[in-house]
Amino acid sequence: MNDTVGIVIVSHSPDIAKGTADMVRQMVGSEVKVAFCGGNPDGGLGTNVSLIIDAINNAWSPKGVAVLVDLGGAETNSEMAVEMLQPERRNLVVVCNAPIVEGAVMAATEAVGGSSLEQVRAVAEELSAS
Amino acid sequence: MSLQPETLKTLVRAAAEQMIASAPELTALDQAIGDGDHGANMKRGFEAVLGKLDTISAQPIDQALKTIGKTLVMTVGGASGPLYGSFFMAAGDALASKRLPDDLADVFCCAVGAVVSRGRSRPGEKTMLDVLFPVLQTLMAEAGQPDLIDKVRTTASEAVARTVPMQATKGRAAFLGARSIGHVDPGARSSCLLVHAVCNTLEARL
């Protein structure tokens, strides 16, 4: 199997994160590695840096990982998580400025064709342009 | 002054207990213009810090600040985790080459700079920076003055009040647009409470 960019979904809600991942798998298939996480360290609504780091490592691909987030804290915590990765991985992860569900589906669709991390990010972020 | 382990322990405990005690107030402020989790998030983070109090106070101050920062990053669960976490981690980094109390303003400046880059924000946007920046200015202007502690405390209180008429353009409150006007910013308030806890503790020990 050729390497494809991995997709990570980070929502405040574990249900949204899982549901988004389910949609990606159904629409795009299992050729793209998808990992997801949601909820604060107590399991309530929020995000958790430690789980985000785990998700990025689980979706890891030599081509990199695109992270899709919902609201502010998910973005800030994802950026923090990227900085806490092992140094050689940090530059191969991008946090996309895109709506979480549509962005994840579009990013995975682009990734499955073998596109680069920058191409995957660009396709997801086109959704935010208008 | 090198910070004695007992002083460090007292400072960290005072700051943590203040955050835990103020959780209901911070939550109420955040329910008005945010998503209502600031109090619970800060409480969770500082409870975790309290749980590591013995470890933290046994460390040199630069390491202790980094441990506090990392603990907040890993436990807070909202944007305030990386924001306050970066503040303390950057302060710890700065102390590797700087000394207290002479370089306090320098160290604080590095810490505030980390919040600016983490949040891609600046003063005037109704955030914790609207307290941290004025406090930095007072630390720079009044360094070495006998009433520094009192001036810092007053600066922080006045700065919180000035967030009321501001319109938020960063964070969750930005969604509210003009409706964010007329409320105290929860992050500014938590920053003020931390500054006050440190000031009050230092004053009591001098």
Chain centre to alpha carbon of residue B187: 9
Q: Is B91 left (phi over 0), alpha (psi -120 to 50) or beta?
A: alpha
Do B65 and B89 contact (CB within 8 A), yes or no? yes
Q: Which CATH number do you get for residue A44?
A: 3.40.50.510
Predicted local distance difference test score (pLDDT) of residue A22: 97
Concatenating the DSSP letter of every residue in A56-118 gives HHHT--TT-EEEEE-SHHHHHHHHHHHHTS-HHHHTTEEEE-S-HHHHHHHHHHHHHTT--HH
Report helix angle B129-141 to B148-162, nearest 10.
Answer: 150
Is A1 a domain residue? no
Predicted local distance difference test score (pLDDT) of residue B1: 44
Question: How far does the CA of residue B5 sit from the closest CA of chain A (Å)?
Answer: 28
Is A72 a domain residue? yes
B66 to chain A, any CB pair closer than 8 A? The answer is: no
Please indicate whether, in this complex, the C-beta atoms of B75 and A76 are within 8 angstroms of each other: no
What is the fold, at CATH topology level, of the domain defined by B5-205?
A: 1.25.40
Which one of the listed residues A5, A12, A51, A96 is annotated catalytic?
A: A12
Position A130 pLDDT exceeds 60? no
- Option in B78, B85, B86 nearest A73 (CB): B78
Q: What is the pLDDT of residues B59-102, one digit of tens each?
A: 999 999 999 999 999 999 999 999 999 999 999 999 999 998 89
Nearest CA in chain A to B79: A73
Cα end-to-end span (Å), chain A: 36
**Domain range enclosing A108:** 6-122
Specify the number of domains making up chain A.
1
Q: How far is CA A38 from CA A19, B21, B192, in A?
A: 11, 27, 30
Do B134 and B159 contact (CB within 8 A), yes or no? yes
Enclosing H/E stretch for B30: helix B23-33
Is A127 a domain residue? no
Is A44 a domain residue? yes
Q: What is the pLDDT of residues A43-69, one digit of tens each?
A: 899 999 999 999 999 999 999 999 999
Looking at beta carbons, which residues of chain A come within 8 Å of B40?
44
- Option in A44, A50, A71 nearest B74 (CB): A50
Is A130 a domain residue? no
Q: Where are the domains of chain B?
A: 5-205
Distance CA B128, CA B125 (A): 9
Chain B interface mutation, best of A52, A80, A95, highest count of B Cβ atoms under 10 Å: A80
Is A128 a domain residue? no
- Option in B41, B75, B171 nearest A72 (CB): B171
Residue A53 catalytic?
no
Is A24 a domain residue? yes
Please indicate whether, in this complex, the C-beta atoms of A40 and B74 are within 8 angstroms of each other: no
ipTM of the complex: 0.86
**Residue-level pLDDT, tens digit, chain B, 206 residues:** 457 788 999 999 999 999 999 999 999 999 999 889 999 999 999 999 999 999 999 999 999 999 999 999 999 999 999 999 999 999 999 999 999 889 999 999 999 999 999 999 999 999 999 999 999 999 999 999 999 999 999 999 999 999 999 999 987 788 888 999 999 999 999 999 999 999 999 998 87
Please indicate whether, in this complex, the C-beta atoms of B73 and A72 are within 8 angstroms of each other: no
Predicted local distance difference test score (pLDDT) of residue A129: 64
Q: What is the pLDDT of residues A95-104, one digit of tens each?
A: 999 999 999 9
Is A40 a domain residue? yes
Peptide bond connecting B24 to the previous residue in cis, omega within 30 degrees of 0: no
